[in-house]
Each structure stands twice: as structure tokens, then as C-alpha cells.
Amino acid sequence: MTRSKFRIVALLLLLVLALSVFAACGRNRQEDAADTVVGDGNLPAGAMDIAAERGLSPDDINAALKTYVPSGQWDEYLMFASGGHSGNLLVIGLPSMRILKNIAVFTPESWQGYGFGSIESEEILDAGNVNGVEIRMGDSHHPGLSETAGDYDGEFVFINDKSSARVAVIDLRDFETKQIVKDPNIISNHGSTFVTPNTEYVIQGSQYATPLGWEYAPLEEYEEKYRGLATLWSFDREAGRIDMENSFSIELPPYWQDLCDAGKLASDGWFFCNSFNTEMATGGIEDGNPPFEAGVSQRDMDYLHIINWKKAEEVYKAGNTEEINGMPVITLQTAIDEGVLFFAPEPKSPHGVDVTPDGKYMVIAGKLDPQVTIYSIEKIEQAIADQNWEADPFGVPVLNFDAVKMAQLELGLGPLHTQYDADGYAYTSLFLDSAVAKWKLGGDDPEAYELIETVPVQYNVGHLAAAEGDTVSPDGKYLVALNKWAVDRFAPVGPLLPQNEQLIDISGDRMQVIYDMAMGVGEPHYAQIIKQDKIKAWDVYPEVGWDPIAQAPSEFATKAGEERIERNGNEVEVFMTSIRSHLTPEHVEIKQGDHVTWHITNIESAHDATHGFQLGGYNISLSIEPGETASFEFDAVNDGTYAYYCTEFCSALHLEMMGYMLVEP
Amino acid sequence: MSNNMEQIVGPRVSGEEFQRNRTRYLLPTILFALAGLLLIISIFLPYWQLTLHAPQYPQGLTVQAYLNRVDGDVGEIDGLNHYIGMRPLDEAAPFERSISIIGVISLSLLILASIFIHSKWVTLLTLPALLFPVIFLVDLQWWLANFGQNLDPAAPLSSSVDPFVPPVLFEGKIAQFRTVAMPSIGLWLAIAASLLILVGLYFHRRAYKPLHDAAEAKA
């Protein structure tokens, strides 16, 4: 009897427990996902009608299916592409090729409130000024994602400005520019930004040689006074900033250094730069001299620069440098004496030097030579040990070409830049042929290097970017051809055309162009493609009242109820909050001649609840993301009645989110 | 007086009788103890959850009501509520929240005490805990009605949203929001405690009624 009672009770208990568990689970149950429609390999009914109506080929259908990313799903990769002379950095999703963000870097940008009054961004931009001249343009070229052990770690991205020789740091927690540094000794750069395998240094190479510090010197003194330079910007990952105190430069001959790449694994400790004016031509077409384009292309060979940065770091730390305009510089002579700098001949005027994923080989794309030339780090180190060299006019050891060359492979006309996949293949852009060449790396067997296929691209392809294609572990899958010209690819939009970024599927035996993306906001020079899930971006700032520059709580953070206007003589300080749908205070009364400092804290913590702020008539534009505290200042030079308002359509009462600034005469 | 006490406490069980019918006497004890324990555990768990669904909140907005606090997207929901003039959630049920922890501990103690009461008075001792889930929901519904009915007439959207009574359970609708209110794990535990008490009362009667009747007969 008692036994059966026990069972009843046990059953009841179980029922109760099951009920609670069911209730607990029920809370988190997601709505059912929609059924997948494609079954048995057949397209849904009507798909072929659509294809026929739109004139799509089977390849087109494949391309569409490979690139379409349904609403709410995320792209697998993010591509960081330079914006060229719009001075910005673009974030593009792959395979959809949608632009996700346009990060303001060297140029003011009103949507992000970058360079329109905001104290934080003005300070960043001002750090890039040149000798008191306000620089608000930029020519961003080569993004470099931070690396750990030679692989992208998704924490930071760097980019250079070619025209004024500057480097910027972007924090990938909030995708905002945090720092611009100006090299005090060069006025243009190109071989940047390339990071060492653990982002110890962000490397920047000069382009057009000038006297160091770009001081005046007549072109007749080119050989004696003009110089190239490589700067190793020390990166403080903890602070998220380039540490200018621990950075240094290496003086180079005035050979117009081009692209660079840092060694990794087998070649860790080295970096490599191409050059294209070992002729030291100085132009002057107007005086009957050969123009630069001919003058710098006379010799058959230019010099691959081979630089031992670990040795250079030792030399710098030993204090064996000369301070030039505040920057410690390893002089050319010291670099030669200490074994920091070597050259190897390379077919003339090449563009990219790209280290293979294993770090063993350097691939130089010939540009004016139809071949890629492959060098081996083992051979280079052997030639250095054997002192198998001659000296150039400056005394720099030039290693014997045949001693360091591993192989040469003819690919087509105008090879520019090389990327890698996971299966031992390399991809090189062919500018003149408007094509991409896929070829096999042959290791230490010169005969094993082999051209596999080429695919036409439209048109004039510059750089390539493959998925993690310049790291120690490339992913393959996708390659993007950054084409300079679009010509007839898109509907006409006037004489200034977008560029054409073409996505190429490299996962199969045959390369297939699967998407043409019109890049109508800049000219990407280089891009890097990182797995999306490596980036740990914030949805909103960690705390309300956040200073995005310090990445810490702001001293100007204002809480709800603590909004105020403080006056001290003619110094006025406004502490404002923004939340849907009001700015507090809504009346700001000041006097003509006041100097106004104005802080706004977005006290929202909801995902996407950004408020903008514009003050008409005073050129003020801010973007205040959830949790952010932003500040601006201005002199109230004009009296009058002004309206300020939230520029983001933040809510149904967005239009009502405004206030008046009254400036009494 | 002592006779009254004896009436309330009910007949004692002799050691001999207990040994003979262990299960019979242990059952109500275990069930009551379990019920008390579940109530104590429920103090640390949310009792009620309200989820707001709207197109612009794909993950929804959720508040969890504990016995003495609300948690979750409270700031965002308060922010939205200001448009219709609803008071901040934190202003709800201040008295109930202030006594809730001590109150639930007292309920548990009453259940534990009832283990030692072998008369029909045990029904009175366990009644508050038995009814607690219902009391909780009724009180919550009263506050929901209070909040929904007393909207600030000067709020931005007061002309487009009439005062309303959000349902304490299941679905409701306000402006573009679909609301889904559900008991949470804490309330389920309290309900489980009620069921345990009910079952416990049954076995309590099974165990002690014969003793009581025997004592009556003897008297």
C-alpha cells in the first residue's frame, strides 16, 4: 500500500518538476525558422522563369546564389578597403559586397561628427597637421589589420595617408579613428601600413624622396641630400596607440621605395620593400629632360630592400641613432655597418612584394616585367653570410641576384600584387592584361612554379585581396580584384566613374567573377579581408558617459537630472543629455562673445539609439552613440536665435527633439 | 489552555507506531519540507516576465519581476513608457516589494511549523503559502491596471494611446508592441510548492485523522 502511494507522490513530483522545466524552457524558445525551400537540387518554381526573363546564364545564377545574403544574416567576412583620396576606410561585407561603414580617418565627415567641432576628432585631425598647415585631405592607401602570431586578431586596423606621410589607428571595438601620427621626416609614404607578426611595429615606407624633414634643397643636390626612409612605429596595444616615444626610422637611399611587407615565420625579423627609381631621375620634362615616367624606368633592375628590423631595433635601443626633427634615425651608414640593410636586384619598377604564408618566399610582381620573381629567405640569409654582394653607390650591399632568386614565372602583362590561398596557390593581378593569374607555388623547386589559369576582370586591376590572404593562414574562398576602371560596367553617372570591385570565387577549380560592386565613394588601393567573427565590436559603449578616445568613463559625463549650464566670465560650459526624444536643456542662452564648451551625453543604452547633433550656423555636427559623451567648443561670434536638433531619425518624435540657442547681442 | 494547545498540536505519534508506518508519517513531513524549500529558492528567481515585441526590437525587450525588484530592459521600457506617460516601473508595488522577502520566508516557516501540527489547524497554517501564487498574480494585475490607467495626460502620445489594462498573463497589445506575459521559474516553484502542500495535506489527513479519531473515541 505504502509503496503505491510513494509512486503516486513520486509521479506528482516529477510532473511538477517537468512543468517548471517546461515553463523555464518555453521562455527562450525562438520563433521557428522559415523552411528552406530548395529541395532535391531543384530551384523553386518560377526561378527559371525569372532567369529567362532577366536573361541570366547558369553562371549568373550561380553567382547570384553565392553572393546573396538574406536579410538578417551576416556576411562571413569583412573587407577593410582604403578609400584612396577620399581619405577614409570602408568596411564591406563578403560575399554580399555591401558597404557596411565608411570610417572617417584623414578627412572630416559629417555623419560621424568627425572634424565638425567635436573636440576629440579635431585633436586627432590636428595631430596630422603639417608645420602648422591644417591638413584635412588624405590619400589612404593600405589598411593593415593588427596581427598576433602572423594572423589577424581583429583588434585594430591601421592605414596610411600617402600624400602627407601619416599613419592612423582605428580601434575595432567601435570602428573609430583614435590617432593620427605624422612622420616628421618624410612628406609622402606608400609602403605602409604593414605590421610585424605581433604588431610590435607598424611599418611605414617613404615614397617620393625629399631631404629629411622635406626642407628645401635644389634637385641638383638630389643624390647628396634627398633620402628615403622607413619608420617603425611602435604600437602599444594596451593603450591602443602608436607610441611615438619608442618609434624610430631607418635612412634609405633616394630610390623611391614602393610597397613593403613584413616577414613572418621563416622570415620573421625582416621586412621587404620594393623600389623603382634607382636611376635617381629628377624629371623636368619642361626643360627637355626625360619625364619621370621614362627617367625612372631606364635600368633593367631596381632594388628589393631587405631590412632586418630586429637588428635595427637593437641598434636603436643601443642609442646608435641620430635625432632628426625629434625622431631617432638609424643613418644609412649605420644601417650598412650594422647589417640592417641589404639590397637584391629585382626586375625594374615592380609594385608588390608579398611574403608567402610560410614566410619562406618573397614574390615580387614585375609591373613592367611580365614575370613574378620569387626570392627565398634561406638563400638571402646564405648570400648575406657568404657576403655574396657588390656595393651600390651608397655602399649598401647588393646581393647577387642569382644567389637569392628562387624562381621566375611569366604570368602576363603588368603583374602588380599577389595574394595567397590555403592550398599553395598564389593570385597575382595583371594590370595591363586586366586579369587575375592563379599560379602554383613551387617551394624550392624552380620548375614546380606553374601558371594555372587567368580570369579576365573589368578593368585595370590594381591590388588584390584574398580572405586573410596575406597572413600565415589564408582562407582561400574569396578574392577581390580592386579594379581602377569600370568603363561600361555600370549605368552612366557622369564622367567621374565609380571603381569596380569584383568578387571572385576561388573555392573551385575555376576562378569565377561573381559580383561587381560599384565603389562610388573612393578609390581603394588595398584591402584586407578578415573573418567576421574575429571582430568583437561593441553594440553600445560599455557605460553611459563614455569617452571613446580614452575608452573609459568621461569626466564630462552628465547624468539625467544633472544637466546644467555653468558660466565663468565669458566662459560658458553646457552639460547636456540626449534621450528619445529630448535634449536637455532645451534653452541655451548665451551672450555674443562667449566662448562655449558644450558636452552632450547620450544616456541611451539601447542598440542603435544614436543621436546626432547639429548646430546650424556654427558648423557643428556630432554623432553621439549610445553611452557616448561628446564635446565641442566654439566662439559665439554672431548673435541671433539658433536651432539645434537631433540629426538621427531616432524616434517618431525626432523632429521635436530640438532646442533653441539664444545669443544675446 | 493546555487542552487548547493539545487540540491545536494534535495527537503525538508513538515511537512504536512510527516504526510500524514510517512512510505514512514521513510523507507529509517531506512534502511540506520540500514546499518550504522551493519557496525559499524562489526568492532568488524571477517570478514573472514580460516581453515586448516590436519590429524595431528584433530580440524583443524583456523585464523580469523578482519578488523585490525588476530586472532586464527596464531603462529602455521606461524610456518608451514615457511617451505614453506611464510611470517608471521602479515605482510599482513599493510596499509589497519591501515585505516580500520576509513575507516568503515567513510562509516557509509556517509550512515548516505545520510539520509539527497534527491537527486540522494545519490547513490554516499552510493556507497563505497555498494561495501565494494567486495572491502574487492578483496583486501584480492590480498594479498593472493601476499603471495602465494612470497615464500622464501631458505625455507626448497621450492623445493616441488610451488608458489600458495590460494582462498579467498571456498576450496583450499596446501601440506597435505585442506583449507576452508569462510566469517565470520563481512563480512556477511557488506553484509547485502549492501543489506539494495540497498533496501533503491529503497525506497529512491520511496519517493523523485515524490517530485523532482514535483519541476522540478513547475520550
Please name the residues between 14 and 33 in chain B that touch chain A, using a CB distance below 8 Å.
21, 23-24, 27, 31
For chain B, percent of residues with pLDDT exceeding 90: 27
Amino acid identity, position A118 = S
- Whether the pLDDT of residue A31 is over 70: the answer is no
Predicted local confidence at residue A39, as pLDDT: 45
Q: What's the number of domains chain A is made of?
A: 2
Domain identity same for A526 and A660: no
Predicted local confidence at residue A32, as pLDDT: 42
CB contact under 8 A, A12 and B195: yes
Whole-Å CA distances, A358 to A254, A267, A378, B157? 31, 9, 12, 64
Of B73, B83, B188, the CB nearest to A23: B188
- Chain A residues whose CB is inside 8 A of the B18 CB are none
- Whether the pLDDT of residue A30 is over 50: the answer is no
Alpha helices per DSSP H over chain B: 2-9, 15-20, 22-42, 74-84, 94-114, 122-149, 185-218
Across the range A129-146, mean pLDDT stands at 97
Predicted local confidence at residue B168, as pLDDT: 83
- Whether the pLDDT of residue A370 is over 50: the answer is yes
Q: Which CATH number characterizes residue A649's domain?
A: 2.60.40.420
- Whether the pLDDT of residue A49 is over 70: the answer is yes
Coil vs helix vs strand at A134? coil
Residue A467 grid coordinates: 580572405
- Chain A residues whose CB is inside 8 A of the B195 CB are 12, 16
ipTM of this predicted complex? 0.73
Predicted local confidence at residue A357, as pLDDT: 98
The domain boundary, picked from A534, A566, A589, lies at: A534
- B210–chain A Cβ distance below 8 A for any pair: no
Q: Which CATH number characterizes residue A136's domain?
A: 2.130.10.10
Coil vs helix vs strand at A453? strand
Mean pLDDT of chain A: 93
Tell me the C-alpha distance between A613 and B94, whole Å: 38
Tell me the C-alpha distance between A575 and A594, whole Å: 16
Q: Write out the residue range of the structural domain in which residue A369 sits.
A: 77-534
Amino acid identity, position A410 = E
- Whether the pLDDT of residue B129 is over 90: the answer is no
Listed residue (A243, A226, A232, A134) closest to A191, CA to CA: A232
Domain identity same for A556 and A518: no
- Chain A residues whose CB is inside 8 A of the B24 CB are 2
Query: Considering only alpha carbons, which residue of chain B is nearest residue A21?
Result: B185
Predicted local confidence at residue A614, as pLDDT: 97
Confidence of residue B212 (pLDDT cuts 50, 70, 90): confident
CB contact under 8 A, A581 and B156: yes
For chain A, percent of residues with pLDDT exceeding 90: 91
- A26–chain B Cβ distance below 8 A for any pair: yes
8 A C-beta contact, residue A107 and residue A121: no
Domain identity same for A475 and A567: no
- A655–chain B Cβ distance below 8 A for any pair: no
Predicted local confidence at residue B26, as pLDDT: 83
CB contact under 8 A, A23 and B182: yes
CB contact under 8 A, B23 and A581: no
Chain A nearest CA to B182, separation (Å)? 8
CB contact under 8 A, B79 and A24: no
- Whether the pLDDT of residue B21 is over 90: the answer is no
For A424-471, write each residue's pLDDT tens digit. Answer: 999 999 999 999 999 999 999 999 999 999 999 999 999 999 999 999
The torsion region of residue A614 among left (phi > 0), alpha (psi -120 to 50) and beta comes to: beta
- Whether the pLDDT of residue B201 is over 80: the answer is yes
Chain A nearest CA to B5, separation (Å)? 31
Tell me which of A4 and B77 has the higher pLDDT.
B77
Q: Is residue A163 part of a domain?
A: yes
Predicted local confidence at residue A24, as pLDDT: 44
Domain identity same for A329 and A441: yes
Listed residue (A374, A380, A420) closest to A400, CA to CA: A380
Domain identity same for A337 and A294: yes
Listed range (A217-226, B41-50, B201-210) with the worst mean pLDDT: B201-210
- Chain B residues whose CB is inside 8 A of the A17 CB are 192
CB contact under 8 A, B23 and A2: yes
Tell me which of A516 and B144 has the higher pLDDT.
A516
- Chain B residues whose CB is inside 8 A of the A581 CB are 83, 156
Work out the number of other CB atoms within 10 angstroms of the CB of residue B76: 20
Listed residue (A113, A129, A132) closest to A121, CA to CA: A113
Predicted local confidence at residue A303, as pLDDT: 97
Q: Across the A/B interface, how many CB contacts are shorter than 8 Å? A: 53
Domain identity same for A516 and A552: no
- Whether the pLDDT of residue A43 is over 70: the answer is yes
Listed residue (A163, A210, A217, A202) closest to A186, CA to CA: A210
For A209-254, write each residue's pLDDT tens digit. Answer: 999 999 999 999 999 999 999 999 999 999 999 999 999 999 999 9
Listed range (A576-580, A644-648, B51-55) with the worst mean pLDDT: B51-55
Q: Is residue A428 part of a domain?
A: yes
Amino acid identity, position B4 = N
Chain A nearest CA to B2, separation (Å)? 34
- A6–chain B Cβ distance below 8 A for any pair: yes
**Could you tell me the domains of chain B?**
15-214 (1.20.140)
Q: Is residue A206 part of a domain?
A: yes
Q: Give the torsion through C-alpha atoms of A112, A117, A121, A123, to 10 deg.
A: 170
Q: Is residue A607 part of a domain?
A: yes
Listed residue (A363, A201, A206, A362) closest to A275, CA to CA: A206
Predicted local confidence at residue A22, as pLDDT: 45
Tell me which of A588 and B117 has the higher pLDDT.
A588
Domain identity same for A566 and A427: no
- Whether the pLDDT of residue A35 is over 70: the answer is no
Residue B69 grid coordinates: 525588484
- Whether the pLDDT of residue A68 is over 70: the answer is yes
Predicted local confidence at residue A165, as pLDDT: 97
Among B18, B20, B23, the strongest candidate for a mutation testing the A interface, having the largest count of A CBs within 10 A, is B23
Residue A99 grid coordinates: 558597404
Among A1, A27, A29, the strongest candidate for a mutation testing the B interface, having the largest count of B CBs within 10 A, is A27
- B156–chain A Cβ distance below 8 A for any pair: yes
Domain identity same for A145 and A190: yes
- Whether the pLDDT of residue B126 is over 90: the answer is no
Sheet holding A151-161, edge to edge: A144-148, A151-161, A166-171, A176-182
Predicted local confidence at residue B16, as pLDDT: 80
Predicted local confidence at residue A578, as pLDDT: 97
Confidence of residue B195 (pLDDT cuts 50, 70, 90): very high
Query: Considering only alpha carbons, which residue of chain B is nearest residue A2?
Result: B23
User: Residue A154: CB partners within 8 Å, gap ≥ 6?
Assistant: A145, A146, A172, A530, A534, A535, A536
Predicted local confidence at residue B203, as pLDDT: 86
Predicted local confidence at residue B56, as pLDDT: 86
- Whether the pLDDT of residue B138 is over 70: the answer is yes
Domain identity same for A344 and A446: yes
For A244-284, write each residue's pLDDT tens digit. Answer: 999 999 999 999 999 999 999 999 999 999 999 999 999 99
Chain B nearest CA to A64, separation (Å)? 27
- Chain A residues whose CB is inside 8 A of the B184 CB are 23-24, 27
Q: Which residues pair with A177 in a beta bridge?
A: A170
- Whether the pLDDT of residue B174 is over 60: the answer is yes
Query: Considering only alpha carbons, which residue of chain A is nearest residue B184?
Result: A24
CB contact under 8 A, B192 and A5: no
Tell me the C-alpha distance between A609 and A651, whole Å: 9
Predicted local confidence at residue A29, as pLDDT: 40
Predicted local confidence at residue B148, as pLDDT: 87
- B79–chain A Cβ distance below 8 A for any pair: yes
Predicted local confidence at residue A26, as pLDDT: 42
Number of residues that this document lists for chain A: 665
Domain identity same for A151 and A208: yes
- Chain B residues whose CB is inside 8 A of the A6 CB are 23, 27
CB contact under 8 A, A9 and B27: yes
**Which position has the grid cell 582562407?**
A475
- B176–chain A Cβ distance below 8 A for any pair: no
Q: Is residue A26 part of a domain?
A: no
- Chain A residues whose CB is inside 8 A of the B192 CB are 16-17, 19-20
- A643–chain B Cβ distance below 8 A for any pair: no
Q: Is residue A56 part of a domain?
A: no
Predicted local confidence at residue B194, as pLDDT: 92
8 A C-beta contact, residue A162 and residue A189: yes
Q: Is residue A572 part of a domain?
A: yes
Domain identity same for A654 and A569: yes
Across the range A323-343, mean pLDDT stands at 98
Query: Considering only alpha carbons, which residue of chain B is nearest residue A657?
Result: B156
Chain B nearest CA to A552, separation (Å)? 22
Predicted local confidence at residue A617, as pLDDT: 95
For B67-124, write each residue's pLDDT tens digit. Answer: 988 899 998 988 888 888 888 888 888 888 889 999 999 988 988 888 888 777 888 8
Tell me the C-alpha distance between A160 and A182, whole Å: 10
Domain identity same for A350 and A479: yes
Q: Is residue A34 part of a domain?
A: no
Tell me the C-alpha distance between B25 and A440, whole Å: 84
Predicted local confidence at residue A531, as pLDDT: 98
CB contact under 8 A, B188 and A24: yes
The DSSP code sequence of A107-118 is S-BTTTTBSSSB
- A662–chain B Cβ distance below 8 A for any pair: no
Predicted local confidence at residue A288, as pLDDT: 94
Listed range (A135-149, A210-224, A414-428, B34-48) with the worst mean pLDDT: B34-48
Predicted local confidence at residue A387, as pLDDT: 97
Please name the residues between 49 and 78 in chain A that touch chain B, using a CB distance below 8 Å.
72
- Chain A residues whose CB is inside 8 A of the B75 CB are 605
Tell me which of B25 and A482 has the higher pLDDT.
A482
Give the angle subtended at the CA of A39 by the CAs of A37 and A41, to the nearest 5°.
120
The domain boundary, picked from A477, A511, A534, lies at: A534
- Chain A residues whose CB is inside 8 A of the B33 CB are none
Whole-Å CA distances, A309 to A104, A114, A351, A382? 31, 35, 21, 18
Amino acid identity, position A353 = V
Confidence of residue A102 (pLDDT cuts 50, 70, 90): very high
Chain B nearest CA to A486, separation (Å)? 38
- Chain A residues whose CB is inside 8 A of the B185 CB are 20, 23-24
Give the pairing type, strands A546-547 and A611-615.
Answer: unpaired
